Amino acid sequence: MYKNILVPTDGSALSRRTLRDAAKLARKLGARITGFYVAPTYHIEVYADYVPPDMISPQQHLAQAKKTAQRHLDAVRKAATENRVACAGYYVMSDSPADAIVKAARKYKCDLIFMGSHGRSGLSKLLLGSQTSKVLSQSRIPVLVHR
């Protein structure tokens, strides 16, 4: 059935539950999991002639993103280890997480995307957007939505 399951993570409680269940599914299927984190790209926050005093440099942003990615991907590795499942972990920087997730699924030859959803509907979904909905509409491989 599925051999390589992409598990996007953002470090949230929902994401941690999702990755634990993804690892359990992978164990039952004899599949591997590929953890994936999308860090935001660097943006300069300058307002006219005012530069905020707490603005970080691009290098500091990159270091923070790498550290955050490592922490989130370590959680994926831990879930995989607990379930005796092979695992790999990757991260990219992008302002469009859904696009990055779909591209990662292709790049790493995943045959299932297993991701969480907060289950928002109505106005909150419209205002906040839904990366899961965007992945569902863009992906050519199956997407399992975990709530």
- Say which CATH number the domain at 121 has: 3.40.50.620
Token look-up 């599914």 returns 25
The dihedrals phi and psi of 40, each to the nearest 5 degrees, come to: -70, 145
Q: Model confidence over 8-63: pLDDT tens digits?
A: 999 999 999 999 999 999 999 999 999 999 999 998 776 767 777 778 888 999 99
Burial of 99 (0-12, 13-18, 19+ CB in 10 A): middle
DSSP SS3 for 96: coil
pTM: predicted TM-score of the whole model, two decimal places: 0.88
Task: Look at the chain and report how many structural domains it folds into.
Answer: 1
Q: Which residues contact 141 (CB under 8 A, 6 or more apart)?
A: 105, 110, 111, 112, 113
Q: Model confidence over 88-136: pLDDT tens digits?
A: 999 999 999 999 999 999 999 999 999 998 755 554 454 445 899 999 9
| 51 vs 45: CA distance, rounded Å | 7
Q: Which two tokens stand for residue 101?
A: 């997730």
Are residues 6 and 143 in contact, defined by beta-carbon separation less than 8 angstroms? Answer: no
DSSP SS3 for 78: helix
Q: 26: domain range?
A: 4-146
